[in-house]
Structure 1
Amino acid sequence: MNSPTRILVYGVHGSGKSTLAQQLAHRLGLPWHPVDDLLWEPGWVEVPIALQRSRIEAICRHERWILDGAYHGWRDVPLARADLVIGLDYPRGLSFRRLLRRTRDRLRTGEEFCNGNRESLGSVLSLDSVLVWHLTGYARERARMRAWQQDPAGPPVLLFDTPQALENWLAGLPPR
């Protein structure tokens, strides 16, 4: 495969999508567009779906990009343009532990992300918590990645079921 220039990184919450996207951007010299920054305004105000779609369409019109997720209302846009989908298909326990650790660290440090937003104890304990999203969406996201991999009409999909398998693949990428 030629070096991909339009990459969608996909996986459940906590699987490491953003970390991988950042690594790939550095390694391949591609622009990374953190999806959460396109979806959330300060104060955890969700951007309307039509505007999310418009933002994603503008990015995907380019020949070089990395996105670290794809959500309802516009998932079809990057899939139609991607020349590679990387699926982080890790076991539930691994991704949930990573998500718990990240959430704990963000609560402790007050780290800002997503346009200045922060995790709070209230948000973590709410029914709209990223932890709940992981628990309720895990099977659906895994099934979606596997279906994409089986679809001959879609872009190539590489599924990694362990961090070591991903590291082995990354080690084989050509240096920048």
Structure 2
Amino acid sequence: MRTLPAMTAVSRVLVYGIHGSGKSTMAARLAARLGLPWYPVDDLLWEPGWVEVPVAEQRRRIEQICRRDRWILDGAYHGWRDVPLARADVIIGLDHPRWRSFGWLLRRTLRRVASGEVICNGNRESWGSVLSTESILVWHLTGFGRERRRMRAWQAGSSGPPVLLLRHPAEVERWLADLPASAREPR
């Protein structure tokens, strides 16, 4: 296992986990704490009307961000996962139990449907999207094991950026509380 760098020396962070694990919340908190710019992945992948950006364009957008010296991304997907992996200083993996992350996702999804909350680029979740075969809830159920295995393999591997797996909300809170605030100004 690779040694984790001091977070004050980190400039490029990939936050990774299954849908509903808290990636965006973690990325936002890290950005505020470390003074790094956060690029919400959903904003890069979805156009209004839930039109998915073509994978080649997704990759171009991610490459443009990852060429920068400072960034936080809250996810990495199949068509371009290699791009942030090649540049990240560290991966923060949110490896919560299925029941916990699915519970968070279900509550969040129901809240968003009920409130009409805008998620990204004007998109909103609806009963139709929640009950479809392309539902984020279905994605969680079908992808959980694969995402967990991927994070754990990254952590056990000898190449790539070091991986910190956080497995419990209390562990997340302790780790964040121990991070020194950065004197860096966001660009």
TM-score > 0.5 by shorter chain:
yes
CA distance in 2, matches of 1:7, 1:53: 17
CA distance in 2, matches of 1:175, 1:26: 9
Equivalences for residues 26-65 of structure 1 within 5 A: 26-65=32-71
Which protein has greater RCO, CA pairs closer than 8 Å, 6+ apart?
2
SS at match of 1:159: strand
CA distance in 2, matches of 1:175, 1:27: 5
Equivalences for residues 38-117 of structure 1 within 5 A: 38-117=44-123
Shift of 1:113: 1.3
Which residue of structure 1 aligns with residue 173 of structure 2? 167
SS at match of 2:78: coil
Equivalences for residues 109-148 of structure 1 within 5 A: 109-148=115-154
CA distance in 2, matches of 1:54, 1:165: 35
Identity %: 70
Please tell me the residue identity of whatever aligns with 2:109.
T
CA distance in 1, matches of 2:174, 2:106: 26
Q: List structure 1 runs of 4+ shifted beyond 6 angstroms.
A: none
CA distance in 2, matches of 1:175, 1:59: 23
Shift of 1:151: 1.4
Shift of 1:34: 0.2
> TM-score w.r.t. structure 2 length?
0.93
Equivalences, count: 176
Give the RMSD, CA atoms, in angstroms.
0.6
Shift of 1:171: 1.1
CA distance in 2, matches of 1:137, 1:158: 20
Shift of 1:143: 0.2
